[in-house]
Amino acid sequence: MLIGYARVSSKEQSLKIQIEQLKQLGCDKVFQESASGKDSEREQLNAMLDFAREGDTIHVMKVDRLARNTIDALQIADQLSQKGAGLIFHDLGNVDINSDVGRVIYTTISAFAEMERKRILQRCNEGRERAKAEGRHLGRFPNEALHQRIQELAERGMNKHAISKELGCSRTTVYRVLERSNARY
């Protein structure tokens, strides 16, 4: 059986292209999820690994869609190999990862993907630090109307839990707004 696995790193990204490509390849079943590669609990990956049987071939469009690091990539490959299932990455061509040469290629590409992920994280952290040092605002901009409404309701004597329910915001937001306004409610 041909099985596909598609993953995107965030909810904002789309699985559509990967799924279409996997279906064009003839995949009978496609496991799909929106989860960061660094998340070790990926339900659909685990479901795919449980589902795979001897003779199945797992198709993944890119190496970095399957594993979060080189060790994880090798463990997944070993699991599939022990079941007698194949694994094909379409960005590597038709490389058999169960062969010695395929294993070396897979390990090397996985290591580079892991290194690139770490470099991206480092650049993001450096950018945040630079912005912070320059006094630029980080995060969402405050919703002044919401903050004003929280203060008004607190002044009327409404408790923090009731305010959060009334306005549909978290209690943490209510506490933070009131704390920043130095109000005693």
Angle at which helices 100-133 and 70-83 cross, to 10°? 150
Let me know: does 3 contact 52? Beta carbons within 8 Å.
yes
Does residue 139 come out as left (phi exceeding 0), alpha (psi in the -120 to 50 range) or beta?
A: left
| Catalytic residue status for 164 | no
CA distance 52 to 36: 22
Strand partners, 5: 31, 60
Please pick, among 9, 34, 81, 181, the residue that the annotation labels catalytic. 9
Angle at 150 (CA atoms; ends 149, 155), nearest 5 degrees: 95
Structure tokens at 26: 């003839």
How many whole angstroms separate alpha carbon 72 and alpha carbon 7?
A: 15
Which of the residues are catalytic?
A: 9
